[in-house]
């Protein structure tokens, strides 16, 4: 998959390299089952029309630019992870448009002219509620007209779970409630977060206590103790996440990984959130209080 960053308009170099393409449009945080439905349709159309399967997304999130007072946005899938997910779903070209104040002021017509049409798009695929252009004034009802007939438009109907739209907002709400066990019905998978082991200590039975740093851009579930799985070098271990702390530099998780003998220090790991166990954390305990001496074990 080729990643093309677009800042201050589509350059002539990018245009020169474009063949006709099908574009799926949206922010796509989480790449959840609703998004996967859009991407699947776009992929099928691109195969049928024998053109490039592209996605146009934005960075940072429009909210960070339009409502900066609400604090920095945290993501279900920070950009590099989202790109990985797109690639695994067959996307051939990923256009990442820098979302700025100037970009937000573009009229719907100008956006279509200067971005979609310019990229030789022959077919746009987006969801029923997709909006574009200043104040989100453009919709799926205006897109064909704004394209002046230069591209076809496929509007994907609402993909829902138990009558509720599958959305990144719904998933964020589940995380805020600690209901991580309900997330797979929306995401199609466990909620997964990547991190790096900064400190580790062995315990009996080859259990390890690890302190894991997580990028501050990640949205984490509400404070509490969770049953998790930890993936290290392709191997999945059962574990418990005991503690979470936040700072601007990132979040730290204290995780007990069961029956895990390889040295995990400085390894990149993936945490899969399975279930909420209980709300009260033992704030007083750090890694060494858990691990030494053994009788202090939980
Ligand atoms: C050119 C352009 C300008 C936009 N300007 C605004 C805006 O002024 N206000 C707003 O709330 N959203 C604005 N948006 C954001 C869209 O409404 C929408 O949130 C964004 O395209 C991501 O789509 P999605 O949330 O459906 O994935 C703009 C989007 C585009 C493409
Ligand atoms: N449940 C859904 N059913 C149909 N289309 C969807 C659904 N969720 C998102 N979309 C579409 O996917 C694209 C990205 O949407 P986005 O606004 O980033 O998702 P969300 O609403 O989850 O935040 C848009 O074209 C949007 O209309």
Residue with CA nearest ligand 2 atom 8: 34
DSSP code for 105? T
Residue 174 is predicted with a pLDDT of: 98
pLDDT at 296 over 70: no
Cα separation, 144 vs 41, whole angstroms: 18
Asked whether 270 and 194 are in contact (CB, 8 A), the reply is yes
Is the ipTM value over 0.90, yes or no?
A: no
Q: Which residue is it, tokens 């790109």?
A: 83
The 8-class DSSP code of residue 115 comes to: I
Question: 136 in ligand 1 pocket by Cβ < 6 Å?
Answer: yes
Ligand at minimal distance from the CA of 112 is: 1
CATH class of 182-296: mainly beta
Q: Which ligand is nearest to the CA of 61?
A: 1
Average pLDDT, the chain: 92
Quick one: pLDDT at residue 282? 56
The confidence score (pLDDT) of residue 244 equals: 80
Specify the residue with its C-alpha closest to ligand 1, atom 23.
26
Confidence of residue 17 (pLDDT cuts 50, 70, 90): very high
CB 179: neighbour CB atoms within 10 A?
Answer: 15
Per-residue pLDDT, 93: 98
% residues pLDDT > 90 (the chain): 84
pLDDT tens profile 220-271: 999 889 999 999 999 999 999 987 887 777 789 999 999 999 999 999 999 9
pLDDT value at 280 more than 70: no
Question: What number does the ligand 2 atom closest to the CA of 159 have?
Answer: 3
Q: Where in the chain is the domain with CATH 2.40.30.30?
A: 182-296
Task: Output the six-digit token pair for 262.
Answer: 């390889």
Cis peptide before 242 (omega within 30 of 0): no
Nearest atom of ligand 2 to the alpha carbon of 26: 14
Fold of 2-165: Rossmann fold (3.40.50)
Question: Can you tell me which atom of ligand 1 is nearest the CA of 103?
Answer: 1
pLDDT at 293: 47
CA of 89 to the centre of ligand 1 (A): 24
- Please return the burial class of 233, using the count of CB atoms within 10 Å of its CB with bins 0-12, 13-18 and 19+: exposed
**Where do the CATH 3.40.50.620 domains begin and end in the chain?**
2-165
Question: Measuring CA to CA, which residue among 145, 63, 158 is closest to residue 104?
Answer: 63
Ligand 2 centroid, distance to 34 Cα (angstroms)? 6
| Cβ of 27 less than 6 Å from ligand 1 | yes
Ligand 1 centroid–CA 28 distance in Å is 12
Tell me the three state secondary structure of residue 111. helix
Residue pLDDT, tens place only, 131-165: 999 999 999 999 999 999 999 999 999 999 999 99
pLDDT at res. 201: 86
């Amino acid at each position: 998959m080729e990643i093309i960053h677009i800042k201050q308009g589509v350059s002539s170099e990018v245009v020169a390299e474009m063949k006709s393409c099908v574009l799926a449009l949206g922010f796509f945080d989480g790449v959840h089952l609703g998004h996967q439905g859009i991407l699947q349709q776009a992929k099928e159309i691109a195969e049928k029309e024998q053109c490039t399967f592209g996605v146009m997304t934005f960075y940072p999130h429009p909210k960070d630019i339009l409502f900066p007072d609400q604090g920095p946005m945290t993501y279900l899938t920070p950009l590099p992870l989202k790109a990985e997910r797109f690639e695994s779903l067959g996307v051939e070209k990923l256009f990442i448009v820098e979302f700025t104040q100037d970009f937000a002021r573009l009229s719907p017509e100008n956006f279509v002219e200067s971005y979609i049409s310019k990229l030789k798009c022959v077919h746009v695929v987006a969801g029923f509620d997709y909006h574009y252009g200043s104040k989100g004034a453009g919709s799926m009802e205006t897109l064909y007209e704004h394209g002046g007939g230069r591209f076809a438009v496929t509007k994907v109907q609402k993909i829902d779970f138990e009558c509720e739209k599958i959305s990144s907002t719904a998933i964020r709400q589940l995380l805020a409630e600690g209901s991580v066990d309900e997330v797979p019905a929306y995401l199609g998978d466990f909620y997964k977060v990547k991190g790096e082991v900064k400190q580790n200590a062995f315990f009996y039975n080859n259990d390890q206590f690890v302190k894991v740093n997580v990028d501050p851009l990640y949205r984490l579930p509400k404070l509490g103790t969770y049953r998790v799985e930890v993936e290290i070098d392709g191997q999945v271990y059962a574990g418990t996440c005991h503690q979470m702390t936040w700072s601007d530099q990132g979040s730290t998780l204290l995780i007990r990984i069961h029956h895990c003998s390889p040295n995990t220090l400085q390894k990149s790991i993936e945490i899969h959130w399975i279930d909420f166990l209980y709300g009260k954390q033992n704030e007083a305990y750090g890694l060494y209080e858990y691990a030494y001496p053994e009788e202090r074990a939980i």
